[in-house]
Amino acid sequence: MNKWFIFDHAFSMSMDQFATFKAMFPSPGNNRPLQPLRSHQVVKNSFEDGEPNHFDFYLGRHAARNRFFAGEFYIAVPIIATLLLMFSIMSFILVRDWVATKRSFSSMAEMIGRSSGGSRV
């Protein structure tokens, strides 16, 4: 009876290591049995094989890396614009609160002045 171990990542080995492994475990039946394909198609996942599909809206592997315009600039523009907008809104709120505080202090001083002036004999 064969035991199978399935790992979450593939182990790379040289041809010499593979030959040593096969020499250590020479049993010819030590492989996974073939499964029926039924109506499924067998494909190989490789980017370099075959002709690449040409789409007008899609940048391929190499074209995406070698673009004329760097992506950092286009990412930085909305960030800087958002920071400027936040700074201006916070400045307007700070000025509005400062003016409101100044008015409340002046009205408080007038109220204190009126109350102290009326009690004199």
**Using one digit for the tens of pLDDT, what is the confidence trace for 53-98?**
666 666 656 655 555 555 667 778 888 999 999 999 999 999 988 8
What are the domain boundaries of the chain?
69-121
Q: What is the 3-state secondary structure (H, E, C) of 46-86?
A: CCCCCCCCCCCCCCCHHHHHCCCCCHHHHHHHHHHHHHHHH
Nearest-angstrom CA–CA distance, 34 and 21: 22
Task: Indicate whether 120 pLDDT > 60.
Answer: no
pLDDT above 70 as % of the chain: 55
Cβ pair 21, 13 in contact under 8 A: yes
Report the pLDDT value the prediction gives residue 109, as an integer from 0 to 100.
Answer: 66
Q: What is the pLDDT of residue 2?
A: 57
Bigger pLDDT: 98 or 48? 98
